Structure 1
């Protein structure tokens, strides 16, 4: 379907690249180098333009200002905003102002095509509503995986390749990122798709029964036998006891198993996919996981990023979940998202990942009383975001910060004078560690230690790196660029200081 697309970007090179990318999909492209010119183009082609690709870095107006002007023109043209890496808050602000979606620069041709495709499909759906699908099939394929972020697109690409072989796959990632969905898609895309897919949660089963459940006993067949000819998915494989690991190693090496209490071995034809939310290398070092089994399982590793690392996926996931749950609740039409709700969901870091997002939207759909999901339909997320905001900004104005700094200087002065003042010691300790009445904002770095001596450069550097990781939400390229060092140097310093980039507040060992 050919559509008129308006590209708004102040960079002539970027405008040309975007024009070529969009035109290659058969669309007609209009160009504008500023917000005001874009508004005049829209006025001239208001009945033709179906989508707008907007760079937030315009010289003449802000992104929200452009969206407000578009609203004043009584036009509901979907806007996809472009933002730089590490500036997700700007995209969230644009979503709150009414943007449909956002993409993170540098933007691939595939990502642009996906974003425009979603806009045009929505436009067609609203114009020609069709009955909704009522239920989701238990079979999950790669087409069911909703993703647009480069990191997740790469995951799907690797999984597709794995599906064409019987190579052992291990899926790594936090709880709730969708490891089982990827495993089911690999099975469905393989030549074993007509055979059983058997899933075992190794962390949820009684330890003393795991061996019998997986390998069976003389009375009941195990999961290995159930999966014969198909796929066995071992969730949280790092939770297996060492004796079960030894039996699993034999099965992987020999393709044979013996049931518990029997010496007779039987052939099994099983494709093994494992998953873990642990660092198995660390488990090997700690002696909790067999090294030989690790190398047998870790043949084709696929690391699934946390949802907070791929926030571009949140609007798409949210809409997909809302559509599915609307169908399951037998609503006439799927609930849509208000701009405030979509901005709220994108702002949140989702520690429970995709599973938590899915649950939150299910609750909102069930309890919603209108045709649009708004911020008040997600009270728990709003409360947690407000709490996080309060913790990040302990002072509403600089007066509070100045008071804390004054307290710090007072404590330091007491120490420097050598006074045996217990209260002074307490105040200095609180000021240095960031506790009690003299808590400082996160972006203050103290130059002296509790004894009043100047801190070492290494100590201050470590603290600055930890702060940068939190401030830029673990975006390593952004952290390195803002600190003025190369990525390799940054990774070396993380290792030297024992900093976990996923949890920068954790102290070095």
Structure 2
């Protein structure tokens, strides 16, 4: 039987409603669904059936025998079938355990049929050398890989935006792939064969921004020995992507407003304005409406640009994408690096990379995999090839080695992290938490001065509640020490803007350059 065309899928779930839904999803994609209501039945079926099972869709939370135990017994029995685990009640620790046990992928209940189909197709393709990622939701021109519902919504919005010339603003943290989204819009639009010109507004000196964007005539200013067309003219008839648009100065914002509003640009040194036909897509890692309120971004320009906003979630909030991204990057870099065979990824690596919070988002993950592939000698990615990541996660002891050397990883049974529900977001799972203390404990701790590291006392030395200002100052001091004075990271973690953070530091008289010592 051609498993790729008509795969046999074993669905293991104690909930009869879920079994029916999953059965319908499997059959909708052209597969054959076999059902098991618990782990014992599933294991017996796998060891006795004459029908070769291509994929197991396994619920992690079941009575008598949970999904992790089913996977362990499958390994003991030598049953090598890709497993897609589904969870609705567990958290990041449960998912990490499943990935460590060898799960190919995971989905979060309630899983959409399209999402399950993508995961099944990927599992069927993973051992093939050609088109290994044909099942991914991937744009062929940009390499966008998505599996999470959040990114599916982003891609849907991108397709809708491509159907018109509506101005688009793509918002999201650095490294989430805003330019890839812009290219996806361009390639799906009527302008796919026209120029796509990118400008990083934050990387151009203020004195050169006008010339770079709108061009200049020869002799327009000192050093202008040649005529320069400018990015708007280069993109004429096509698409102009303005990255970090929130960094533009007020003077340039005025000129940009005219270009957007009237379709005209003023070349530096020219006597007349010029007409341009440009599809404008902007991107920013700032909250533009907050920039408008603070007076740093023109309100009229904001409403001209922000007609069709698309918000790209950070990678820590869409961990379903991590296994797919890792496999996609490893496959691409393996080919580019000239490796003879496909790059394999150990279950421990998938568990570790899924657990990590990725402050640098997809760009950081891509660079980490690139480094690992370059250092890999035998085609297998192992945790020792990711020392910077392992060093930031509990349960791993990886030290940088010399070229060609392997370093052992500590054998921890599981990552020491709280079991946070997936629906609340993966970022919470990496936070340091202190639990089990009552208000009385807090008061006693405050009086004895024996606060634990990371513990903020609500009770002062006098036994009374402290003021909000006192608590806020202590939180800011701790955050500055905890994140080594990295202002952007401190502001992001505290949920405030950098300007607000600087103001509070000044108000509280905090020396931001000092390393704050917190008593243990």
TM-score bracket for the superposition, by shorter chain length? 0.7 to 0.9
Instruction: Return the offset for 1:262.
Output: 2.2
2:446–2:459: 8 Å Cα contact kept in structure 1? no
Aligned counterpart, 2:149 = 150
> Tell me, what secondary structure is at the counterpart of 1:384?
coil
Deviations 1:218-267 (A, max 9, x none): 02110000000000000000000000000000000000111012230111
Instruction: Return the offset for 1:39.
Output: 0.3
Whole-angstrom CA distance in 2 between matches of 1:294 and 1:350 = 30
What is the aligned counterpart of 1:58 among 39, 49, 62? 62
1:141–1:189: 8 Å Cα contact kept in structure 2? no
Q: Do the aligned partners of residues 408 and 37 (structure 1) sit closer, same or farther apart at CA in structure 2, a change above 3 Å counting?
A: same
1:318–1:357: 8 Å Cα contact kept in structure 2? yes
Determine if the alignment matches structure 1 residue 275 to structure 2 residue 279: no
What is the aligned counterpart of 1:409 among 438, 444, 448? 444
Whole-angstrom CA distance in 2 between matches of 1:327 and 1:302 = 33
Whole-angstrom CA distance in 2 between matches of 1:314 and 1:115 = 12
Instruction: Return the offset for 1:406.
Output: 8.1
Aligned counterpart, 1:322 = 330
2:443–2:463: 8 Å Cα contact kept in structure 1? no
Instruction: Return the offset for 1:451.
Output: 2.5
> Tell me, what secondary structure is at the counterpart of 1:203?
helix
Aligned counterpart, 1:290 = 298
Whole-angstrom CA distance in 2 between matches of 1:340 and 1:323 = 18
> Tell me, what secondary structure is at the counterpart of 1:165?
coil
Q: Do the aligned partners of residues 131 and 120 (structure 1) sit closer, same or farther apart at CA in structure 2, a change above 3 Å counting?
A: closer
Determine if the alignment matches structure 1 residue 361 to structure 2 residue 369: yes
2:25–2:113: 8 Å Cα contact kept in structure 1? yes
> Tell me, what secondary structure is at the counterpart of 1:29?
strand
What is the aligned counterpart of 1:228 among 214, 236, 242? 236
Aligned counterpart, 2:452 = 439
> Tell me, what secondary structure is at the counterpart of 2:58?
strand
Whole-angstrom CA distance in 1 between matches of 2:445 and 2:247 = 52
Instruction: Return the offset for 1:195.
Output: 1.1
What is the aligned counterpart of 1:70 among 70, 74, 91? 74
Whole-angstrom CA distance in 2 between matches of 1:373 and 1:113 = 26
Q: Do the aligned partners of residues 278 and 389 (structure 1) sit closer, same or farther apart at CA in structure 2, a change above 3 Å counting?
A: farther
Instruction: Return the offset for 1:169.
Output: 0.5
1:141–1:188: 8 Å Cα contact kept in structure 2? no
How many pairs does the alignment contain?
A: 432
Q: Do the aligned partners of residues 455 and 41 (structure 1) sit closer, same or farther apart at CA in structure 2, a change above 3 Å counting?
A: farther
Aligned counterpart, 2:96 = 92
> What is the aligned-residue RMSD (CA, Å)?
3.2
List structure 1 segments (4+ residues) > 4 angstroms apart after TM superposition.
130-133, 139-143, 387-395, 405-408, 504-509
Larger relative helix fraction: 1
1:331-350 to structure 2, matched below 5 A, reads 331-350=339-358
Aligned counterpart, 2:459 = 448
2:11–2:34: 8 Å Cα contact kept in structure 1? yes
Aligned counterpart, 2:177 = 178
Whole-angstrom CA distance in 1 between matches of 2:244 and 2:297 = 12
What is the aligned counterpart of 1:14 among 7, 14, 18? 18
Aligned counterpart, 1:435 = none
Aligned counterpart, 2:45 = 41
TM (normalized to structure 1)?
0.78
What is the aligned counterpart of 1:503 among 493, 498, 513? 493
Instruction: Return the offset for 1:449.
Output: 3.5
Deviations 1:434-490 (A, max 9, x none): xxxx31566xx856344302579x99xx9xxxxxxxxxxxxxxxxxxxxxxxxxxxx
> Tell me, what secondary structure is at the counterpart of 2:170?
strand
1:141–1:184: 8 Å Cα contact kept in structure 2? no
Aligned counterpart, 1:205 = 204
Determine if the alignment matches structure 1 residue 26 to structure 2 residue 39: no
TM (normalized to structure 2)?
0.77
Whole-angstrom CA distance in 2 between matches of 1:320 and 1:447 = 47
Instruction: Return the offset for 1:194.
Output: 1.1
Instruction: Return the offset for 1:308.
Output: 0.3
Q: Do the aligned partners of residues 410 and 163 (structure 1) sit closer, same or farther apart at CA in structure 2, a change above 3 Å counting?
A: closer
2:326–2:369: 8 Å Cα contact kept in structure 1? yes
Whole-angstrom CA distance in 2 between matches of 1:174 and 1:20 = 37
> Tell me, what secondary structure is at the counterpart of 2:251?
helix
Uncovered stretches (5+) of structure 2, i.e. residues with no partner? 218-226, 397-414, 418-429, 473-489, 505-520
Determine if the alignment matches structure 1 residue 164 to structure 2 residue 163: yes
Deviations 1:290-312 (A, max 9, x none): 00000000000000000000000
Whole-angstrom CA distance in 1 between matches of 2:494 and 2:167 = 33
> Tell me, what secondary structure is at the counterpart of 1:7?
strand
Whole-angstrom CA distance in 2 between matches of 1:226 and 1:77 = 53
What is the aligned counterpart of 2:271 among 263, 268, 278? 263
> Tell me, what secondary structure is at the counterpart of 1:5?
strand
2:175–2:360: 8 Å Cα contact kept in structure 1? yes
